[in-house]
Chain A
Amino acid sequence: MKNLWILINKYNAFFLFVGFFGFAFYLVIRNNTFQRASAVNSSNHFIGATYAKINAWKSYLNLSQENALLAEENAMLRKQLQYFIAPDSVESDLVIDSARDVQYHYIVAKVTNNSIHQKNNYITLDKGKKHGIQKGMGVISASGIVGIVLNVSDHFSTVQSLLHSESRISASLEDSQAFGSLVWGDSYDARMATLKDIPNHVKVRKGESVYTSGFSLFPPGIPVGKVIETGNSGGDSFLNIKIELSTQFHNLQQVYIVEDLFAEEKADLEAQNDDNG
Chain B
Amino acid sequence: MAKLLSYNIVRFIALVILQVFLFKNIGYYNLATPFPYILIILLLPVGIPNFILYFLAFVTGITIDAFYDTLGVNAAACVALAWGRIMFLRITLQTDHYENYMTPSWGTVPFRWYFLYVFVLTLFHHAVLFMMETFTFHQFHYTIIRILLSCIFTVITILLFSLLFYRKKQR
Contact = CB atoms under 8 A, between A and B. Distances in A.
Q: Is the interface of A mostly helix, strand, loop or mixed?
A: helix
A47 B67 contact: yes
A31 B72 contact: yes
B87 interface: yes
Given A13-B83, A17-B83, A54-B21, A27 B69 contact: no
Size bin of chain A's contact surface: 20 to 34
Interface stretch (A35-43, A87-95, A187-195, A239-247): A35-43
A25 B76 contact: yes
Nearest to A46: B66
Contacts of B66: 40-41, 44, 47
Among A25, A29, A30, residue most surrounded by chain B Cβ atoms (within 10 Å):
A25
Contact of B72 (A14, A16, A28, A42): A28
Contacts, number: 68
A23 B80 CA distance: 12
Given A14-B83, A41-B66, A42-B69, A28 B76 contact: yes
B158 interface: no
B73 A28 contact: yes
A16 B50 CA distance: 8
B58 interface: yes
A26 B51 CA distance: 19
A24 B72 CA distance: 5
A2 B80 CA distance: 28
Among B70, B72, B75, B135, residue most surrounded by chain A Cβ atoms (within 10 Å):
B72
Nearest to B61: A24
A40 B79 contact: no
Contacts of B57: 20
A28 B58 CA distance: 13
A32 to B, nearest CB: 7
Interface of A: 12-14, 16-17, 19-21, 23-32, 35, 38, 40-42, 44, 47, 54
12 contacts: A13-B86, A17-B80, A20-B79, A21-B79, A24-B72, A27-B71, A28-B73, A28-B132, A31-B72, A35-B69, A42-B69, A47-B66
Given A13-B83, A20-B58, A47-B66, 11 more contacts: A13-B50, A14-B83, A17-B54, A17-B82, A21-B79, A26-B72, A30-B72, A31-B72, A35-B69, A42-B69, A44-B66
9 smallest beta-carbon distances between A and B, as pairs: A27-B72, A24-B76, A28-B72, A17-B83, A31-B71, A24-B75, A20-B79, A40-B66, A13-B86
